[in-house]
Every structure is written in C-alpha cells, then in structure tokens.
Structure 1
C-alpha cells in the first residue's frame, strides 16, 4: 500500500514537473517572439532612377543595393532581428510605394542608404541625417516644433542609432566623419517610425570612389551598420 502511494506521488511530481517545463518553455517562446525587431533597409534609387553616377557602368543604385544585401545577410544570423529591403533588385521605387511598405510592415526602424556627391572634389567621408526637432524660421533661427512625446522618442532613437553608426564607420572613413546632421530628408517624409539616412562616401572624391566601388569595403560598411543595429537592440 505504501509502495503504491509512493509510486503515485512520484507520478504526480513527474507530471507537475513536465507541465512546469512546458509552461516555462512556452513563456520563453512568447517572450522571444515579442522581442523580434523589424528593420526596413532602403537601398536608395533603383530602376530608371540611377542616383549619382559613379563610373560609366556603375551608379549609386548599384552600390546601395550591394550594401543593403550584405547588411541583410549579416543580420540574418540574429534571431531577434527581421530585415526587410524596400527593393532586392534593380527596380523603380516611388515615394508612395516606399511609404506603403513602411505602413504595411510597421518597422521598429527605417534606414535609407545613399552615396553622396558635391561640395567640391575634396569633400569626403560619411554623413548621417536624422529627423529634426526644429524648423527654420524667416529669421534663420531654429524654432522648436510642438512635438508629441511619441515623436520625441522616435527622434531620440534616431540620434542614438546615428551615434552608434558614426562610431563604427569611423574605422572605414578614418577621421572623415562629417558628423550627425538634423534634417528631414525626402525618404523620411510622413514616416511615423525612427528613421535615419546614411550617406556613404562621396562619388565626387577619388579616394571615396575607390572605396565604395570595392566589394571588400562594401562588406565592411554593411558589417559596421549591422554591428550598430545589433548593439542598439542588445
């Protein structure tokens, strides 16, 4: 009788333990699923919109797509990050289509990749643009907008990501980071998510041009961006 009771108690304890483990694993699974961050990467231009001309055969649209694909590959190893490209081939991308992609996917972050040009042949390095807190007035001064807490939070996230990317790109464009710039670029218009525009090198500068044409450097840029994104969501 006593042996039978002990056997039943052991069965009950075993069943309880299995239920507990199952519940714990389910809780972990739900927690993990709730913490997957969606990042939209926008390889600027595409199709008939070639962007900046870099060589006779290569344009900005080709470089931005190459870097975006490498970035997606780097982040595909992360279980808590999902990457969506606005385009993964040489196709046209209208502002309306881009906005719709963002609205449909409700990402945690939107990053647009570009190649810079202008400011003379000596301008070089990278620039990072994030949405602004203020707007220009007639007098040329900054006037703080009436911003909601939600928008301020989005801008703060954009600034934090910019700082991480700046730190990681410095090793590729040594001492040539042109800083963080507050500006609402066309790609950011109407997007209610944290956004950032990355201008990778100057096509008008011979040294930068060699770098951005190099597959090795393109991979390094993608790795620097991936490292920044992973650090942000760690």
Structure 2
C-alpha cells in the first residue's frame, strides 16, 4: 500500500514539473527569445548562402584569354638547367585558367592548350572574336648573357598601363624574391594589334640560373598564379 502511495506521489510531482516547464517555454516564446534565436540562426544561414552565391558569380559574364607564349617548333628560350619556355608558359597558363575557374564564374580561354604552334595573328584573333575583357600573354625572358634577371610587365596602349601596373604589383605582393624590373611599354604584336585590354608578362629570365630555378619551382608556380588571379579579379570585379 505504501508503495502505491509513493508511486502516485512521484507521478504527481512529475506532472507538476512538466507543467512548470511547459509554462516557461510558453513564456519565453511570448517574449520572443526562442523566436529570435531561430530567426538569428535562419538569418545566419541565409547570409552564408548569399555569400556563397556571390562568390560563385564573381566575374560572371567576363571573358579572359590566357596566351601561353610559343609552342610546337617554336620553343622560345631555353635555360642552363634544361627548362624550355614553351613548356613553362603552357604550365602557367593552365594554372591560371584552373585558378580562375575555381574562384570565379568567368569564361577562360587558352590560345593553346597543347604543344602546338599558334600564329601571333591567330592569338589576337581569338582575343578579338571572344570580345575578351582581358588578354594576358605569358612569357619568360632571355638575354645573351646570364647576368640579367627579373620580372617585367608590358603594355602597348596607354589605356592598358594601369592594368599592367596592377597585375605587376600583385605579383610582388607575396614577397617574391626576384628583381622587380617594373612596368614598360612593349611593341609586341599580340599587344599592338589587339583592341582588347591586353598585357604581356615576362616572368623571369630563363637564361639566368637563379631565375630559372625559381620559375620551375612549385612554390613560384603556385604563388605567382594566385597573385596574377588576385590582380585579374581586382581589375575586372
């Protein structure tokens, strides 16, 4: 009999506690505390989604042409350590294309995606026919003596000088240990005959052993690719 009384008492206390909890929940909802938390969480999720959507649409509608210098029988310059310019330019062009594809919604076109020779006129034609918002030609310099070193960015039209300066600055923002040869006017066919915004980068002297070792390193390829893409986004955003 005592056990039944104790059991009834426990059940009664449980109901009392349950009623108190329900009352507290109703009061919190009336005060808007629970709803505010739910709304805050919902808003946070919406903000993250908006941020992701915005990031995915970065540079959507823009067209970028990446020109890997030389190719095929035209090997460009070759280094003391065996580096060949046409291979380095293609590797860098593909790296830039991949980085742009990963980070933006831009249409990225390569003038060549294999070891083939493309005429200078055809390179410009690709830029013109695609109505490129930016044409970027990748090269590695050379000199008849091996003392000359450093990175130079070229433009042909005065209107493209700010673009060359911007990309050049980004290349050296990551603490690149290379000689800064600055931004210069260049009489290159792919710039001179191109009506689209266009620049040409000489990313080091392949004839210099120090520059050659740097330009063939994974660190240089990765960091310089990121820097160039940062500059492109800054210019086109």
User: Where do 5+ consecutive residues of structure 1 fail to align?
Assistant: 1-31, 134-154
- What TM-score, normalized to structure 2? 0.70
- Cα distance in 1 for partners of 2:180, 2:119 equals 30
Cα distance 1:220–1:34, how it changes in 2: closer, same or farther (>3 A)?
closer
The residue number in structure 1 matching 2:73 is 48
The residue number in structure 2 matching 1:162 is 164
Q: Kindly state the Cα deviation for residue 95 of structure 1 after the two structures are TM-superposed.
A: 1.7
The residue number in structure 1 matching 2:192 is 189
Find 1:109's aligned residue among 127, 134, 153. Answer: 134
Cα distance 1:119–1:48, how it changes in 2: closer, same or farther (>3 A)?
closer
- Cα distance in 1 for partners of 2:133, 2:89 equals 21
- Cα distance in 2 for partners of 1:226, 1:69 equals 12
Q: Which secondary structure does the structure 1 equivalent of 2:145 belong to?
A: coil
Alignment of 1:72 with 2:97, yes or no, is yes
Q: Kindly state the Cα deviation for residue 188 of structure 1 after the two structures are TM-superposed.
A: 1.5
- Cα distance in 2 for partners of 1:113, 1:173 equals 18
Q: Which secondary structure does the structure 1 equivalent of 2:102 belong to?
A: coil
Q: Which secondary structure does the structure 2 equivalent of 1:84 belong to?
A: strand
The residue number in structure 2 matching 1:221 is 224
Instruction: Tell whether the 8 Å contact from 1:71 to 1:225 is kept in structure 2 after alignment.
Output: yes
The residue number in structure 2 matching 1:94 is 119
Task: Give RMSD over aligned pairs.
Answer: 2.4
Length, aligned pairs only: 182
Structure number with bigger Rg: 2
User: Where do 5+ consecutive residues of structure 2 fail to align?
Assistant: 1-56
Q: Kindly state the Cα deviation for residue 132 of structure 1 after the two structures are TM-superposed.
A: 4.0
Q: Kindly state the Cα deviation for residue 222 of structure 1 after the two structures are TM-superposed.
A: 1.1
The residue number in structure 1 matching 2:63 is 38
What does the per-residue CA deviation read over 1:113-141, in whole Å, with 9 as the maximum and x for residues that have no partner?
000111632221100110144xxxxxxxx
Q: Kindly state the Cα deviation for residue 57 of structure 1 after the two structures are TM-superposed.
A: 5.0
Alignment of 1:61 with 2:112, yes or no, is no
What does the per-residue CA deviation read over 1:20-47, in whole Å, with 9 as the maximum and x for residues that have no partner?
xxxxxxxxxxxx7995211100000001
- Cα distance in 1 for partners of 2:184, 2:149 equals 15
The residue number in structure 2 matching 1:85 is 110
Q: Which has the higher helix share?
A: 2
